[in-house]
């Protein structure tokens, strides 16, 4: 009986540790009841995107995040952003940690279900993305430096609505992956997003298939 109780206590301790550690699977370095505020820069082809983001990890398995990106077309003649042709992208997401799934992969692995919404709208066009995926993250084990990596295979539902025209909805596969390095309260990282789109017209309308980005923020 004592051995059984000890075994169950050990399993519970490991499961709690998996939940309490930074929610790496969502791409953020926050622990239990932790917050993150940061800035990011993304570089789609012929576009520049600069924004801010925030994340809060509740006590338990739930984490939420959101932010704003300002996307502008690069001026081909001068190599500068065209401020008169910029769009605001709003995004928000929720991550639900699943410690049992993480433990199936490894003792220090973070796993979570992630749902997100992204929106770009103006007077004539509304573009919405709904990525739904499974995030897997883990410490990379660098001695003395907290380095973590994550990957999120996704199913991405895309809907484009144009005034006076029919809306178009399609579903594609995508992936988001990145790594973070901690320096005390400061965290810096890099991220790549790739969307496997078959419709060339849709690619030309909204964005390139692959987007690289860099991030930096404060973990509280």
Q: What tens digit of pLDDT does each residue of 178-192 get?
A: 999 999 899 999 999
Q: What is the rounded CA–CA span in Å between residue 180 and residue 189?
A: 4
Instruction: Answer for the pair 153, 180: CB distance below 8 angstroms, yes or no.
Output: no
In this prediction, residue 101 has a pLDDT band, given cuts at 50, 70 and 90, of confident
Minimum mean pLDDT range among 19-33, 49-63, 128-142, 148-162: 19-33
pLDDT of residue 201 exceeding 60: no
Range of the domain at 163: 2-219
Burial class (CB in 10 A: 0-12, 13-18, 19+), 167: exposed
Reduce the DSSP state of residue 205 to 3 states and report it.
helix
The encoded tokens of residue 109 equal 């692995």
In this prediction, residue 203 has a pLDDT band, given cuts at 50, 70 and 90, of very low
pLDDT of residue 14 exceeding 70: no
The pLDDT assigned to 22 comes to: 62
The pLDDT assigned to 162 comes to: 86
> How many domains does the structure of the chain reveal?
1
The CATH number assigned to the domain holding 31 equals 2.40.160.20
Task: Please state the three-class secondary structure of 51-110 as a single string.
Answer: EEEEEEECCCCEEEEEEEEEEEEECCCCCCEEEEEEEEEEEEEEEEECHHHHHHHCCCEE
Q: What is the mean pLDDT of the chain?
A: 81
Reduce the DSSP state of residue 184 to 3 states and report it.
coil
pLDDT of residue 8 exceeding 80: no
The encoded tokens of residue 44 equal 């789609």
Most confidently modeled of 10-14, 65-69, 96-100, 194-198? 65-69
- Please state, for a pLDDT cut of 70, what percent of the chain lies above it: 80
Reduce the DSSP state of residue 200 to 3 states and report it.
helix
What's the whole-number mean pLDDT along residues 169-176? 91
Q: What is the rounded CA–CA span in Å between residue 134 and residue 155?
A: 9
pLDDT of residue 2 exceeding 60: no
The encoded tokens of residue 22 equal 């930074």
pTM across the whole model: 0.79
Pairing of strands 186-196, 81-97: unpaired
pLDDT of residue 104 exceeding 90: no
């Amino acid at each position: 009986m004592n051995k059984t109780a000890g075994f169950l206590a050990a399993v519970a301790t490991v499961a709690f540790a998996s939940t309490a550690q930074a929610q790496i699977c969502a791409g953020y370095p926050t622990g239990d009841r932790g917050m993150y505020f940061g800035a990011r820069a993304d570089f789609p082809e012929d576009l520049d995107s600069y924004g801010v983001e925030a994340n809060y990890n509740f006590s338990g398995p739930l984490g939420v995040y959101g932010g704003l990106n300002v996307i502008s077309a690069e001026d081909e003649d001068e190599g500068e952003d065209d401020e008169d042709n910029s769009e605001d992208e709003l995004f928000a997401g929720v991550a639900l940690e699943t410690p049992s799934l993480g433990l199936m992969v490894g003792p220090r692995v973070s796993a979570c279900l992630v749902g997100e919404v992204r929106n770009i709208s103006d007077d004539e066009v509304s573009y919405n993305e709904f990525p739904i995926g499974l995030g897997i993250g883990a410490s990379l084990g660098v001695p003395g430096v907290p380095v973590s990596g994550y990957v999120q295979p996704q199913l991405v539902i895309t809907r484009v609505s144009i005034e006076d025209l029919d809306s178009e909805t399609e579903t594609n596969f995508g992936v988001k992956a990145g790594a973070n390095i901690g320096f005390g309260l400061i965290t810096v990282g890099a991220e790549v997003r790739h969307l496997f789109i078959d419709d060339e017209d849709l690619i030309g309308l909204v964005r390139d298939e692959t987007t690289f980005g860099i991030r930096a923020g404060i973990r509280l």
